[in-house]
Structure 1
Amino acid sequence: MVASGVESLGKLPELRKRILWTFGLLAFYRIGIHIPVPGVDAAAIAEFFESASNTLFGLFDMFSGGGLSKVSIFALGIMPYISASIILQLLTVVSPELARLSKEEGAEGRKKITQYTRYGTVLITVIQGLGISIGLESMSSPAGASVVLVPGWGFRLTTILTLTAGTILIMWIGEQMTDKGIGNGISMIIFAGIVAGLPRAVFNTFRLLSAGEMSLFVLMVLMLIMVAVLVFIVFMERGQRRVPIHYAKRQMGRRMYGGQTSHLPLRVNTAGVIPPIFASSILMFPATLANFSEVTWLKDISSAFQPSSIIYNVVFVGLVVFFCFFYTAIMFDPEQIADNLRKAGGFIPGIRPGAKTQEYIDKVLARITLWGAAYIAAICVLPMIFITQFSVPFYFGGTSLLIVVGVAMDFMGQLESYTISRQYDGLMSKGAKIKGR
């Protein structure tokens, strides 16, 4: 698959342009990560985050691509946009007006929902920016150096404006990448942030190995487990339940149509990487504000919701399961599928068309979604085990691996689909020329 995509670059200039556009935007995003917010002591903030690598700050920093530890203009990353998307999708279920926009209005309705999501992103960014600016003023490095050079409302307003502008720019980069590049732009941004942190994690691991703080046996076991988890993720991401579909024979004039056998593919993980991203976003939003606050009870909540705590992982698993079913329900409508099969003359063997088909598809989808949710939850709680039991020096685990593998597979799948479609268009144009001659 990779080789065919690389060979097609020379034959398909448009594909090469899309890939260059994607990597160019990702490079632009990575450059912005290193531009700090005005008024922050970079050395002091680096010392503070060095001691908080395995806390909630470390998790948030992973999703922001290292922007939070540098307090850069992209410190909030794409998480405010994801949070706004979650809120809009939940409101779509309970609000008839939003449901009508998403289903009946078509492209115009989706455009309005996207606009509402942007407004929500700005509002969430302003709130988070204010909380972060206040929190930064009360922070200091382990050596006692203040993080903010000149505290006050001038610094707070500057930070809010800078972080809001940075988040809006990331949102624009993601949309441009989706329209003009290859793959989903938002997922590619998160993917780039996680991959950018891998070299540093590997360096820290070998540093601990050379210092004798980690044994070679533990490192080899970790590597074997990572490979096993990687293989398991690929296997589960490709897993699907194929529901057999038969089409009845129909006579139209002198010809017989139908009589074919096909299948309805239902993926084990229909929701993809959306559930862990959504769950992490929901947990990080209030907990991050609590971390930057001096209120005692908020501090207690923040300390209880560390990635290595039992409470955090139990709530995280619950949210992952919820979003697996929620997003699958949005992606698949058993009633519409059953109606389309009935109109096309298709039926599931042994199941009556109509309501019975809908019930059968709904039941099968619920069963495989439950297994998919269990798989995602099991993969994503691996960090707690490795941090608490093996004192892993970086945020190893299924959340990052799941996102990296899922986005990489989606990228290569879209690359292959784009190549095949362009080759098919070329064959059709050649056939039209021959027919014209």
Structure 2
Amino acid sequence: MNSTLSFIWKRLQSIWTIPDLRKKLLFTLGMLLVFRVLAHITVPLTHQEQVNLANLFASGKSKNLGQLLGLLDVFSGGSLQTFSFVALGVAPYITATIVMQLLRPILPALQNLSTQGEAGQQRFNQITRIITVPLAFLQALGQAAIFVRAGVLDANTFNLFGPNWLETLSILLSLTAGTMILIWLGELITDHGIGNGISLIIFAGIVSRLPQLIQQGLLASSSTGGNGGGVVSTLVFLSIGLLTILSIVFIYQGQRRVPVQYPTKRMVGRGVKFGSAQTTYIPMQVNSSGMIPLIFAQSLLIFPALLSQYLIGNNVKWLANIALWTGTYLANTTLWYYWFTYFVLVVVFTYFYAYIIWQQQNISENLQKQG
């Protein structure tokens, strides 16, 4: 136990003793700080709309809007409560990534990009960013429609084809630009920070709500007579969260080592002479997909549910009914078929993403080259 703690302490010390690692960590923290500052900058709203927004969350009326608003608020890191520039988060980018990954095996042009090395990957990422823009605009339209139904935005003035189209467009473009800024910050973290920028943006958004949840637990304890129930539940919650993180790290680091033997080669005159076989192994991760399938599945459920909010009040009855069903059931975490659909999507994306990872590594071709 002492040796394990000593090892962990030395690793933590190395963060500050290694200049390059310290620089990367500080840069990452700086970018995450910029993200949290942007989360408090509101999109262009009138004074009355800002008052309506504050009353919506302060009075608890937001709970009446269903599970969708709660899911969006969690993944935006509380940015939805301020209706900030980054209220969409990076969800449109994740949706665009799903579309591109699904199209790659189908379109030969995208398949060719995977064989062009780093240049092909950069082109692939550029196309993904381009697709993100219209998806972010559509998601902004759906998110704004939620606030129209909640009474934050005026239904008579929020209209792209009405006399106040410029104000409406400014809100939608602000939300779209916020998503693109977050993508840029995530790529900066990936290139100049500790890596996995988009995942860290999502992580920072979710963790930013942790102090608020702890405060709510402590307030619940005081409101019930101070019997300490809220404190105990908060400690239990934190303990379970810590054990969950440790379990995830343990499983993610797990690997199965497949033994491989290949003969050594050496030049003898004009020929090649094979020597004794050498043994090595192929490391196969237990969970090579990581958290990607979970994020993909959640985004795929939220996007149509969010887009349907704009179509619920449509004059075409059958279209409005489909939109109402989509918005009600695809984001309702209290229903069993929501979790069943979520489970199926996670399994599908896990197999799909693991296949893509192994295909990109070209293990079979490398083994053939080694003899």
1:244–1:264 Cα contact (<8 Å) kept: yes
Match of 1:106 in 2: 117
Distance in 1 (alpha carbons) for counterparts of 2:65 and 2:247: 27
Inter-CA distance 249–173: structure 2 relative to 1 (3 Å threshold): closer
Size of the alignment, in residue pairs? Answer: 339
Give the Å deviation of 1:16: 2.2
1:169 aligns with 2:178: no
CA offsets per residue over residues 359-378 of structure 1, 9 Å max, x none?
xxxxxxxxxxxxxxxxxxxx
Q: Which residue of 1 aligns with 2:198?
A: 186
Q: In the alignment, does 2:289 pair up with 1:271?
A: yes
Q: Which string of whole-angstrom CA distances, capped at 9 and with x for unpartnered residues, describes residues 321-380 of structure 1?
A: 0110111111003993133223223xxxxxxxxxxxxxxxxxxxxxxxxxxxxxxxxxxx
The answer to whether the 8 A contact 2:304-2:326 is kept is no
TM-score of the two chains, using structure 1 as the length reference: 0.70
Task: For structure 1, list consecutive stretches of 5 or more residues without a partner in the other structure.
Answer: 141-145, 346-437
Residue matched to 2:358: 332
**1:16 and 2:22 matched:** yes
Are positions 1:233 and 2:248 aligned together? yes
CA contact (8 A) 2:266 2:274 kept: yes
Cα separation, partners in 2 of 1:262 and 1:33, compared to 1, 3 Å? same
1:99-137 C-alpha deviation (Å, 9 max, x unpaired): 11122x222222221111111111111112223334422
Which position in structure 2 is the counterpart of 1:130? 141
- Please tell me whether residue 298 in structure 1 is matched to residue 301 in structure 2: no
Pair 1:334–1:187, CA change in 2 (3 A): closer
Q: TM-score scaled by structure 2?
A: 0.82
1:44 aligns with 2:52: no
- Write out per-residue CA displacement over residues 270-303 of structure 1, whole angstroms, 9 at most, x where no aligned residue: 1001000010111000111224533344223322
Asked whether 1:77 is paired with 2:92, we answer: no
The sequence identity of aligned pairs, in percent, is 36
RMSD (CA atoms): 2.9
Conserved 8 A contact 1:247-1:261: yes
- Closer, same or farther in 2 for the Cα pair 1:149/1:207, shift >3 Å? farther
User: What stretches of structure 2 of length at least 5 have no aligned partner?
Assistant: 1-6, 159-164, 314-319
Identify if the C-alpha distance between structure 1 residues 231 and 23 changes in structure 2 by more than 3 Å, giving closer, same or farther. Answer: closer
Tell me which amino acid in the other structure corresponds to 2:150. M
Give me the whole-angstrom Cα distance separating, in 1, the residues matched to 2:65 and 2:235.
Answer: 22
1:314 aligns with 2:343: no
| 8 A contact 1:32–1:72 mirrored in 2 | yes
The Cα offsets for residues 84-107 of structure 1, whole Å up to 9 and x where unpaired, read as 11111111111011111122x222
Q: Which amino acid letter does the alignment assign opposite residue 30 of structure 1?
A: R
**2 CA distance for matches of 1:183 and 1:2?**
21
Match of 1:287 among 305, 310, 319: 305
CA distance in 2: counterparts of 1:2 and 1:194, whole angstroms = 25
Q: 1:107 to 1:222 in 2, by over 3 A?
A: closer
Contact 2:87 2:175 in 1 (8 A): yes
The structural deviation recorded for 1:10 is 5.1
Q: 2:126 maps to what in 1?
A: 115
Q: Superposition pairs for residues 380-391 of structure 1, below 5 Å?
A: none
Q: Distance in 2 between matches of 1:172 and 1:221?
A: 37
**Matched letter for residue 276 of structure 1:** L
Kindly provide the amino acid, as one letter, of the partner of residue 273 in structure 1: M
Aligned to 2:317: none
Amino acid at match of 2:255: Q
The question of whether the paired residues in 1 share the 8 Å contact of 2:145 and 2:309 is answered with: no
Q: How far, CA to CA, are the matches of 1:147 and 1:14 in structure 2?
A: 48
Q: Contact conserved, 1:45 with 1:70, CA < 8 A, in 2?
A: no
Which of 75, 80, 91 pairs up with 1:68? 80
- Which residue of structure 1 lines up, in the alignment, with residue 161 of structure 2? none
Which residue type is aligned with residue 304 of structure 1?
Y
Q: Which amino acid aligns with 1:171?
A: I
Q: Would you say the 8 A contact 2:308–2:327 is kept in 1?
A: yes
